[in-house]
Structure 1
Amino acid sequence: MNLSLTLNKSKWEIDGSTLSNIIKDSSKKQSFYENVIELHRKQWGKNRLLYEKFVERYYTDTNPTCLVKSISPLVIGHGGEGVLETGLLLHPIYGIPYLPGTALKGVASHYAHSVLGENFQELKQGGSDYNTLFGTNERAGMIEFHDALIMPETVGEAFKVDVMTPHHSDYNSVKLDKINKGGSVPAPRDDDSPTPIHFLTVVNGRFQLLLKTKKNLPEEAEWLELAKTILLGALEHEGIGAKTNAGYGRLKMDHVIS
């Protein structure tokens, strides 16, 4: 079972529901997600060996930086393209969650500039250490942030259904062109009913970080260690993905690879 295909392109029934039915009637989304998760649990054993081989190849001839574990639900790709109202970033081939290298670099550079840069000017954007680690518009940074793969033993129980309850859905869905044309706009009210929206999150996942340099020189080891320290701080205190202001997306170092 490829969860990415199931959530975006499937035509088959899952306990009486199809993806097209859920698109038309979002009230059935919770049960659909729960059935998909249960099917994923049952079928993961068939796919695990194939994924383990992929992980083994991915980290061949290199030293993984460290393992991190999620300490709050992860929601990456929440606003991405997809047929459902809320998305979740999954590997297109293996259908598993992962932490994209671009996102890891983004949270690390933001943490270096906005948090650590308050005390260390070199880590402010444009500072010497910041430019060395993350690069500038003219040149690439020294550190390569690769995708962090989830460990096979945590994939089976990695998914959980969550819910958000936004209010004022009528007001928030007003299109700008309607306002510009002088159309009536429903004002938000305290007695507006919440609209439950169910979505998938990633829980209890362990991910293997991989930071590298192009030349892999001994003198670059200190820069790698600095990048790792910054990234771990960003993941634990700032988070990655959507809803970080609500406490989502936090990860903490689990085990250093020897």
Structure 2
Amino acid sequence: MIDPNRIANRANKNSSLNYDKLFPISKHSMPDTSLLPGFLPELMNRFAYYDRNAVNSLMERRERIIKSFRKTFDQELQTKKYLMVGSGCPSIFDNGFTLMRNYGVPYIPASAFKGAFSHYVAQELEQDNPIKKNYKFLFGTGDNDDNIRGNLIFLDVIPKSYSLGIDIINNHFQPYYSDEKNEKAPNDYYDPVPVQYLVIDRGSIFRFTVLDNGNIGDDLKQELEKSLMDFLGDFGLGAKTSYGYGLFKKPK
């Protein structure tokens, strides 16, 4: 395990490199996992000063891409609370974190954005909603060898400005959950075990962009804009959305 006292000397501007290389994925290389909480503040400090040139470069590339297509949705939105993306990724910590490999900034992959919104359309919208009626036309399908390419093009959700924080989960019955022999009951006399994890803090601004190839009519485009805002404002992206994570609003 890397010595936290050496992190400051070895860290560079790319947070993805810091996370993947300075912190090994395998817990077997660490004799005492109780030391992990002490590494999170160090990790957060490494991510706190992101490379603004990288963010500007991302924004410039986004503008060039948009010029080649027709915009359906292009909004800069602010996190209402926290945002947690990539919690299931392999990590030495209890929860992973998604960082763009080359730019070192947190982001939401386009596949996650598209998948979550298409699920929202399929499960939450009424049958007579124009978006649901045109589901295959917009999102495509690969069911039963009926491969149809969708007309919507989702791009990665990239940050314009962001800050990081640390949140916790208090496990109250850890001995009960870790008991493989089922000999312990979930009693209140167990001490809570707080688990810390990194989050993207409230007030961070991300850019959401959805394009089309010119085949989507204006009426359907307006419905898409409205539904995307409803989805991002009420259902959200990432983990723990039922606790208010991953929800967005227009910046003040």
TM range (shorter): 0.7 to 0.9
Q: What is the SS of the residue equivalent to 1:6?
A: helix
SS at match of 1:171: helix
Identical pairs, percent: 25
Cα distance change on mapping 1:122 and 1:11 into 2, 3 Å: closer
Identify if the C-alpha distance between structure 1 residues 121 and 193 changes in structure 2 by more than 3 Å, giving closer, same or farther.
farther
Matches of 2:31 and 2:218, distance apart in 1: 53
Q: 1:81 to 1:40 in 2, by over 3 A?
A: closer
**Structure 1 gaps, min length 5:** 13-18, 176-182
TM-score scaled by structure 1? 0.76
In structure 2, stretches of 5+ residues that fail to align are: 1-12
Aligned equivalent of 2:40: 33
Conserved? CA contact 1:146–1:210, under 8 Å: yes
Q: Per the alignment, in what secondary structure is the counterpart of residue 162 of structure 1? A: strand
Q: Which residue does the alignment assign to 1:167?
A: 172
Alignment of 1:95-106 (within 5 A): 95-106=104-115
- Whether contact under 8 Å (2:27, 2:33) holds in the other structure is no
How far does the alpha carbon of each residue in 1:58-77 deviate from its partner, in whole angstroms, 9 at most, with x for none?
33141561111101100111
Q: 1:246 & 1:48 partners in 2: Cα distance?
A: 31
Q: How big is the alpha-carbon RMSD for the aligned residues of Structure 1 and Structure 2?
A: 2.8
1:52 is displaced (CA, Å) by 1.2
| Match of residue 108 from structure 1 | 117
SS of aligned partner of 2:64? coil
- The equivalent residue for 2:14 is 2
User: Is the contact between residue 171 and residue 188 of structure 1 (CA under 8 Å) also seen in structure 2?
Assistant: yes
* Secondary structure, aligned partner of 1:242: coil
Asked if residue 77 in structure 1 is aligned to residue 89 in structure 2, the reply is: no
Q: Secondary structure at the match of 1:66?
A: strand
- The number of residues matched between the two structures is 229
Q: How far apart in 2 are the matches of 1:164 and 1:67?
A: 30
Q: Which residue of 2 aligns with 1:131?
A: 136
CA–CA distance in 1 between the matches of 2:120 and 2:23?
42
Distance 1:128 1:149, change over 3 A: same
